[in-house]
Homo-oligomer: A and B are copies of this chain.
Amino acid sequence: MKDVARVAGVSLGTVSNVLNQPDLVSPATRRRVVDAIAQLGFVRNESARQLRAGRSRTIGLVVLDVSNPFFTDVARGAETAAAENGSIIMLCNSGQKVEREARYLDLLEEQRVQGVLITPVGSDNARLDLLVARGTPVVLVDRGTEHPNWCSVAVDDVLGGLAAVSHLIERGHRRIAFVGGPMGLRQVSDRHVGAVKAMTDGGRDPGELMLFETTWLTLSSGRQAGERIVGLSEAERPTGVFCANDLLALGVLQALAGHGLRVPHDVAIVGYDDIDYAAAAAVPLSSVRQPRELIGRTATELLLDEMREGSSHQHRRVTFKPELAIRASSDMRRRRSSSARTARAARPAV
Protein backbone atom coordinates (compact mmCIF):
# COMPACT_ATOMS: atom_id res chain seq x y z
CA MET A 1 0.00 0.00 0.00
CA LYS A 2 2.91 2.25 0.72
CA ASP A 3 4.16 1.68 -2.82
CA VAL A 4 0.75 2.33 -4.26
CA ALA A 5 0.59 5.58 -2.34
CA ARG A 6 3.97 6.66 -3.64
CA VAL A 7 3.19 5.81 -7.26
CA ALA A 8 -0.17 7.55 -7.10
CA GLY A 9 1.34 10.48 -5.33
CA VAL A 10 -1.05 10.32 -2.40
CA SER A 11 -0.90 9.36 1.22
CA LEU A 12 -1.35 5.95 2.68
CA GLY A 13 -4.65 6.88 4.21
CA THR A 14 -6.05 7.83 0.85
CA VAL A 15 -5.21 4.45 -0.61
CA SER A 16 -7.00 2.87 2.29
CA ASN A 17 -9.99 5.08 1.66
CA VAL A 18 -10.08 4.15 -2.00
CA LEU A 19 -10.23 0.52 -0.98
CA ASN A 20 -12.76 0.81 1.78
CA GLN A 21 -14.74 4.00 1.32
CA PRO A 22 -14.37 5.10 -2.29
CA ASP A 23 -17.07 7.74 -1.89
CA LEU A 24 -14.84 9.78 0.32
CA VAL A 25 -12.25 10.12 -2.40
CA SER A 26 -12.50 12.46 -5.36
CA PRO A 27 -12.90 10.72 -8.71
CA ALA A 28 -9.59 12.02 -10.00
CA THR A 29 -7.46 10.71 -7.14
CA ARG A 30 -9.48 7.58 -6.98
CA ARG A 31 -8.57 6.99 -10.58
CA ARG A 32 -4.87 7.55 -9.97
CA VAL A 33 -4.89 5.16 -7.06
CA VAL A 34 -6.78 2.48 -8.93
CA ASP A 35 -4.31 2.76 -11.78
CA ALA A 36 -1.37 2.49 -9.44
CA ILE A 37 -2.92 -0.60 -7.87
CA ALA A 38 -3.32 -2.19 -11.27
CA GLN A 39 0.13 -1.21 -12.38
CA LEU A 40 1.81 -2.63 -9.32
CA GLY A 41 -0.42 -5.67 -9.08
CA PHE A 42 -1.14 -4.81 -5.49
CA VAL A 43 -3.02 -7.38 -3.45
CA ARG A 44 -4.47 -6.59 -0.05
CA ASN A 45 -2.95 -8.38 2.85
CA GLU A 46 -5.79 -10.13 4.60
CA SER A 47 -3.71 -10.93 7.68
CA ALA A 48 -3.07 -7.29 8.33
CA ARG A 49 -6.71 -6.46 7.78
CA GLN A 50 -7.73 -9.13 10.21
CA LEU A 51 -5.20 -8.04 12.74
CA ARG A 52 -6.49 -4.55 12.54
CA ALA A 53 -10.14 -5.56 12.52
CA GLY A 54 -9.73 -8.03 15.34
CA ARG A 55 -11.78 -10.65 13.56
CA SER A 56 -11.43 -12.56 10.35
CA ARG A 57 -14.04 -12.89 7.67
CA THR A 58 -13.99 -16.64 7.90
CA ILE A 59 -16.52 -19.01 9.40
CA GLY A 60 -15.39 -22.46 10.47
CA LEU A 61 -17.52 -25.47 9.60
CA VAL A 62 -16.46 -28.65 11.34
CA VAL A 63 -18.10 -31.77 9.99
CA LEU A 64 -17.86 -35.44 10.85
CA ASP A 65 -16.96 -36.67 7.39
CA VAL A 66 -16.35 -34.72 4.20
CA SER A 67 -16.78 -37.89 2.20
CA ASN A 68 -20.38 -38.07 3.29
CA PRO A 69 -22.55 -36.29 0.72
CA PHE A 70 -24.87 -35.20 3.49
CA PHE A 71 -22.18 -32.94 4.87
CA THR A 72 -21.00 -31.61 1.55
CA ASP A 73 -24.58 -30.57 0.87
CA VAL A 74 -24.75 -28.87 4.23
CA ALA A 75 -21.46 -27.18 3.38
CA ARG A 76 -22.84 -25.95 0.09
CA GLY A 77 -25.78 -24.36 1.84
CA ALA A 78 -23.52 -22.74 4.38
CA GLU A 79 -21.17 -21.51 1.70
CA THR A 80 -23.96 -19.83 -0.23
CA ALA A 81 -25.29 -18.04 2.81
CA ALA A 82 -21.80 -16.98 3.84
CA ALA A 83 -20.95 -15.66 0.39
CA GLU A 84 -24.03 -13.45 0.48
CA ASN A 85 -22.52 -11.87 3.53
CA GLY A 86 -18.97 -11.55 2.26
CA SER A 87 -17.76 -14.30 4.53
CA ILE A 88 -16.19 -17.53 3.53
CA ILE A 89 -16.53 -21.00 4.91
CA MET A 90 -13.54 -22.93 6.05
CA LEU A 91 -14.41 -26.60 5.86
CA CYS A 92 -12.79 -28.83 8.46
CA ASN A 93 -13.10 -32.57 8.61
CA SER A 94 -12.96 -34.08 12.07
CA GLY A 95 -13.36 -37.56 10.69
CA GLN A 96 -15.28 -38.45 13.86
CA LYS A 97 -12.06 -38.11 15.85
CA VAL A 98 -12.13 -36.09 19.03
CA GLU A 99 -8.48 -35.07 18.75
CA ARG A 100 -8.81 -33.82 15.22
CA GLU A 101 -11.89 -31.90 16.18
CA ALA A 102 -10.02 -30.30 19.05
CA ARG A 103 -7.09 -29.46 16.80
CA TYR A 104 -9.36 -27.75 14.33
CA LEU A 105 -11.09 -25.80 17.05
CA ASP A 106 -7.71 -24.57 18.24
CA LEU A 107 -6.81 -23.59 14.73
CA LEU A 108 -10.08 -21.78 14.18
CA GLU A 109 -9.81 -19.93 17.44
CA GLU A 110 -6.29 -18.85 16.62
CA GLN A 111 -7.60 -17.50 13.36
CA ARG A 112 -10.21 -15.51 15.25
CA VAL A 113 -12.94 -16.81 13.00
CA GLN A 114 -16.29 -15.09 13.09
CA GLY A 115 -17.82 -18.21 14.48
CA VAL A 116 -17.94 -21.97 14.37
CA LEU A 117 -20.59 -24.20 12.90
CA ILE A 118 -20.04 -27.67 14.21
CA THR A 119 -21.40 -31.18 14.32
CA PRO A 120 -19.54 -32.32 17.39
CA VAL A 121 -18.04 -35.76 17.71
CA GLY A 122 -18.63 -36.23 21.42
CA SER A 123 -21.02 -34.81 23.92
CA ASP A 124 -18.37 -33.04 25.92
CA ASN A 125 -19.25 -29.39 25.76
CA ALA A 126 -16.29 -28.07 27.70
CA ARG A 127 -14.20 -27.09 24.68
CA LEU A 128 -17.12 -25.39 22.99
CA ASP A 129 -18.06 -23.58 26.18
CA LEU A 130 -14.58 -22.17 26.30
CA LEU A 131 -14.88 -20.94 22.74
CA VAL A 132 -18.11 -19.16 23.50
CA ALA A 133 -16.79 -17.74 26.74
CA ARG A 134 -13.87 -16.21 24.85
CA GLY A 135 -16.18 -14.61 22.36
CA THR A 136 -16.47 -16.97 19.40
CA PRO A 137 -20.10 -17.81 18.72
CA VAL A 138 -20.94 -21.46 18.14
CA VAL A 139 -23.87 -22.94 16.26
CA LEU A 140 -24.63 -26.61 16.57
CA VAL A 141 -25.39 -28.28 13.28
CA ASP A 142 -27.54 -31.34 12.87
CA ARG A 143 -27.99 -31.66 16.58
CA GLY A 144 -30.35 -30.06 19.00
CA THR A 145 -29.29 -28.81 22.37
CA GLU A 146 -30.71 -27.57 25.59
CA HIS A 147 -27.54 -25.67 26.21
CA PRO A 148 -28.25 -21.99 26.77
CA ASN A 149 -25.04 -20.71 25.20
CA TRP A 150 -25.54 -21.45 21.57
CA CYS A 151 -27.95 -21.68 18.71
CA SER A 152 -28.67 -24.94 16.97
CA VAL A 153 -30.12 -26.26 13.78
CA ALA A 154 -31.38 -29.77 13.87
CA VAL A 155 -33.77 -32.22 12.43
CA ASP A 156 -35.97 -34.16 14.77
CA ASP A 157 -34.04 -37.40 14.65
CA VAL A 158 -36.30 -39.18 17.08
CA LEU A 159 -39.20 -38.46 14.76
CA GLY A 160 -37.15 -39.66 11.80
CA GLY A 161 -36.25 -42.92 13.47
CA LEU A 162 -39.85 -43.34 14.52
CA ALA A 163 -41.11 -42.83 10.99
CA ALA A 164 -38.61 -45.24 9.50
CA VAL A 165 -39.31 -48.11 11.85
CA SER A 166 -43.06 -47.46 11.96
CA HIS A 167 -42.97 -47.84 8.22
CA LEU A 168 -41.20 -51.19 8.51
CA ILE A 169 -43.70 -52.38 11.11
CA GLU A 170 -46.58 -51.22 9.00
CA ARG A 171 -45.19 -53.20 6.11
CA GLY A 172 -45.45 -56.30 8.22
CA HIS A 173 -41.89 -56.82 9.36
CA ARG A 174 -41.45 -58.63 12.63
CA ARG A 175 -37.69 -59.01 13.02
CA ILE A 176 -36.35 -55.50 12.77
CA ALA A 177 -32.78 -54.33 13.22
CA PHE A 178 -31.08 -51.02 13.79
CA VAL A 179 -27.69 -50.54 12.20
CA GLY A 180 -25.63 -47.57 13.34
CA GLY A 181 -23.00 -46.18 15.59
CA PRO A 182 -21.19 -45.04 17.48
CA MET A 183 -23.97 -44.53 19.99
CA GLY A 184 -22.00 -41.62 21.38
CA LEU A 185 -23.18 -39.61 18.40
CA ARG A 186 -26.36 -37.87 19.29
CA GLN A 187 -27.81 -38.29 15.81
CA VAL A 188 -27.34 -42.03 16.06
CA SER A 189 -28.72 -42.40 19.55
CA ASP A 190 -31.71 -40.19 18.77
CA ARG A 191 -32.55 -42.19 15.69
CA HIS A 192 -32.26 -45.29 17.80
CA VAL A 193 -34.56 -43.85 20.41
CA GLY A 194 -37.07 -43.15 17.67
CA ALA A 195 -36.77 -46.71 16.45
CA VAL A 196 -37.39 -48.07 19.92
CA LYS A 197 -40.36 -45.79 20.32
CA ALA A 198 -41.80 -47.08 17.08
CA MET A 199 -41.57 -50.61 18.44
CA THR A 200 -43.43 -49.63 21.58
CA ASP A 201 -46.02 -47.66 19.64
CA GLY A 202 -46.51 -50.63 17.36
CA GLY A 203 -47.23 -52.86 20.29
CA ARG A 204 -43.91 -54.68 20.07
CA ASP A 205 -41.42 -55.45 22.75
CA PRO A 206 -38.70 -52.82 22.29
CA GLY A 207 -36.21 -55.48 23.37
CA GLU A 208 -36.94 -57.21 20.11
CA LEU A 209 -35.20 -54.48 18.16
CA MET A 210 -31.91 -55.99 17.11
CA LEU A 211 -28.87 -53.75 17.28
CA PHE A 212 -25.85 -53.84 15.03
CA GLU A 213 -23.52 -51.19 16.32
CA THR A 214 -20.92 -49.79 13.96
CA THR A 215 -17.79 -47.75 14.53
CA TRP A 216 -18.28 -45.34 11.67
CA LEU A 217 -21.08 -44.03 9.52
CA THR A 218 -19.44 -45.13 6.29
CA LEU A 219 -20.01 -47.42 3.35
CA SER A 220 -17.45 -49.90 4.58
CA SER A 221 -18.90 -49.98 8.09
CA GLY A 222 -22.20 -50.71 6.40
CA ARG A 223 -20.68 -53.56 4.42
CA GLN A 224 -19.32 -55.05 7.62
CA ALA A 225 -22.69 -54.81 9.31
CA GLY A 226 -24.20 -56.39 6.22
CA GLU A 227 -21.80 -59.30 6.47
CA ARG A 228 -22.89 -59.87 10.04
CA ILE A 229 -26.51 -59.88 8.97
CA VAL A 230 -25.78 -62.28 6.15
CA GLY A 231 -24.04 -64.55 8.61
CA LEU A 232 -27.23 -65.12 10.59
CA SER A 233 -29.51 -68.06 9.99
CA GLU A 234 -32.68 -67.29 8.15
CA ALA A 235 -34.69 -67.68 11.33
CA GLU A 236 -32.62 -65.11 13.18
CA ARG A 237 -32.07 -62.74 10.32
CA PRO A 238 -33.97 -59.45 10.44
CA THR A 239 -36.34 -58.86 7.56
CA GLY A 240 -36.34 -55.11 8.04
CA VAL A 241 -33.25 -53.03 8.63
CA PHE A 242 -33.12 -49.35 9.56
CA CYS A 243 -29.72 -47.75 9.11
CA ALA A 244 -28.61 -44.61 10.87
CA ASN A 245 -27.52 -43.10 7.60
CA ASP A 246 -27.51 -43.77 3.89
CA LEU A 247 -23.86 -44.71 3.62
CA LEU A 248 -24.45 -47.53 6.06
CA ALA A 249 -27.58 -48.50 4.19
CA LEU A 250 -25.76 -48.61 0.87
CA GLY A 251 -23.04 -50.73 2.45
CA VAL A 252 -25.57 -53.15 3.90
CA LEU A 253 -27.31 -53.31 0.56
CA GLN A 254 -24.07 -54.14 -1.17
CA ALA A 255 -23.21 -56.90 1.27
CA LEU A 256 -26.67 -58.46 1.03
CA ALA A 257 -26.66 -58.31 -2.76
CA GLY A 258 -23.19 -59.81 -2.80
CA HIS A 259 -24.55 -62.85 -0.98
CA GLY A 260 -27.61 -63.24 -3.12
CA LEU A 261 -30.13 -61.87 -0.67
CA ARG A 262 -32.88 -59.92 -2.38
CA VAL A 263 -33.93 -56.44 -1.30
CA PRO A 264 -36.69 -55.86 -0.34
CA HIS A 265 -37.94 -59.45 -0.73
CA ASP A 266 -35.59 -61.07 1.77
CA VAL A 267 -34.60 -57.95 3.65
CA ALA A 268 -36.06 -54.46 3.47
CA ILE A 269 -33.80 -51.48 4.10
CA VAL A 270 -34.44 -47.91 5.15
CA GLY A 271 -31.65 -45.35 5.30
CA TYR A 272 -31.34 -41.80 6.59
CA ASP A 273 -30.38 -38.48 4.98
CA ASP A 274 -31.71 -39.17 1.49
CA ILE A 275 -28.44 -38.32 -0.21
CA ASP A 276 -28.52 -38.22 -3.99
CA TYR A 277 -26.98 -41.65 -4.24
CA ALA A 278 -29.80 -43.19 -2.25
CA ALA A 279 -32.21 -42.98 -5.17
CA ALA A 280 -29.46 -44.17 -7.51
CA ALA A 281 -28.58 -47.28 -5.55
CA ALA A 282 -28.73 -50.89 -6.66
CA VAL A 283 -32.22 -50.90 -5.25
CA PRO A 284 -33.50 -47.36 -4.85
CA LEU A 285 -33.24 -46.71 -1.18
CA SER A 286 -36.02 -45.64 1.11
CA SER A 287 -34.66 -42.92 3.29
CA VAL A 288 -35.52 -40.25 5.81
CA ARG A 289 -35.01 -36.97 4.05
CA GLN A 290 -33.39 -33.99 5.71
CA PRO A 291 -33.24 -30.49 4.21
CA ARG A 292 -29.48 -30.66 3.83
CA GLU A 293 -28.60 -27.37 2.20
CA LEU A 294 -31.20 -25.58 4.27
CA ILE A 295 -29.55 -26.85 7.41
CA GLY A 296 -26.24 -25.33 6.35
CA ARG A 297 -27.83 -22.11 5.23
CA THR A 298 -29.86 -21.72 8.40
CA ALA A 299 -26.90 -22.44 10.64
CA THR A 300 -24.88 -19.77 8.88
CA GLU A 301 -27.67 -17.26 9.14
CA LEU A 302 -28.11 -17.92 12.84
CA LEU A 303 -24.42 -17.29 13.28
CA LEU A 304 -24.47 -14.08 11.31
CA ASP A 305 -27.48 -12.89 13.29
CA GLU A 306 -25.72 -13.63 16.50
CA MET A 307 -22.73 -11.60 15.39
CA ARG A 308 -24.82 -8.68 14.32
CA GLU A 309 -27.05 -8.61 17.33
CA GLY A 310 -24.18 -8.81 19.76
CA SER A 311 -25.04 -9.21 23.41
CA SER A 312 -28.73 -8.66 22.84
CA HIS A 313 -28.84 -11.91 20.92
CA GLN A 314 -31.34 -14.52 21.94
CA HIS A 315 -30.10 -18.00 21.13
CA ARG A 316 -32.47 -19.87 18.92
CA ARG A 317 -33.09 -23.53 18.24
CA VAL A 318 -34.38 -24.39 14.82
CA THR A 319 -35.77 -27.85 14.32
CA PHE A 320 -36.86 -29.25 11.00
CA LYS A 321 -39.15 -32.17 10.48
CA PRO A 322 -37.79 -35.06 8.45
CA GLU A 323 -39.75 -36.74 5.68
CA LEU A 324 -39.79 -40.39 4.84
CA ALA A 325 -39.16 -41.13 1.17
CA ILE A 326 -40.39 -44.60 0.37
CA ARG A 327 -38.65 -46.36 -2.47
CA ALA A 328 -38.14 -49.89 -3.67
CA SER A 329 -35.79 -50.99 -0.91
CA SER A 330 -38.64 -51.20 1.58
CA ASP A 331 -41.75 -50.88 -0.50
CA MET A 332 -43.17 -54.34 -0.26
CA ARG A 333 -45.77 -55.69 2.08
CA ARG A 334 -44.38 -58.62 4.00
CA ARG A 335 -46.10 -62.01 3.58
CA ARG A 336 -47.66 -60.95 0.36
CA SER A 337 -46.43 -61.82 -3.06
CA SER A 338 -47.02 -58.41 -4.50
CA SER A 339 -44.03 -57.39 -6.56
CA ALA A 340 -41.96 -54.49 -5.37
CA ARG A 341 -43.22 -51.21 -6.56
CA THR A 342 -40.73 -48.59 -7.53
CA ALA A 343 -42.89 -45.58 -6.88
CA ARG A 344 -40.99 -42.65 -5.47
CA ALA A 345 -43.68 -41.77 -3.00
CA ALA A 346 -42.48 -39.17 -0.57
CA ARG A 347 -44.80 -38.48 2.26
CA PRO A 348 -44.64 -36.45 5.45
CA ALA A 349 -43.27 -38.32 8.38
CA VAL A 350 -45.63 -39.75 10.97
Contact = CB atoms under 8 A, between A and B. Distances in A.
Interface in A247-261: 250-251, 253-254
Interface stretch (A87-95, A161-169, A193-201): A87-95
Given A45-B110, A277-B277, A280-B282, A76 B69 contact: no
Report the interface size class on chain A. 35 or more
Interface string A293-306: 00000000000000
A57 to B, nearest CB: 9
A215 to B, nearest CB: 17
A19 to B, nearest CB: 11
Which of A90, A109, A111, A219 has its CB near the most chain B CB atoms (within 10 A)? A111
Nearest to A92: B88
Interface string A264-298: 00000000000011011111100000000000000
Interface in A95-113: 106-107, 109-112
Contacts of A91: 66, 90-91
Which of A44, A47, A109, A282 has its CB near the most chain B CB atoms (within 10 A)? A47
Contacts of A41: 130, 133-134
A254 B277 CA distance: 10
A107 B88 contact: yes
Nearest to A53: B47
Given A45-B110, A111-B47, A66 B72 contact: yes
A271 to B, nearest CB: 12
Contacts of A45: 51, 110, 112
A28 interface: no
A85 interface: no
A227 to B, nearest CB: 15
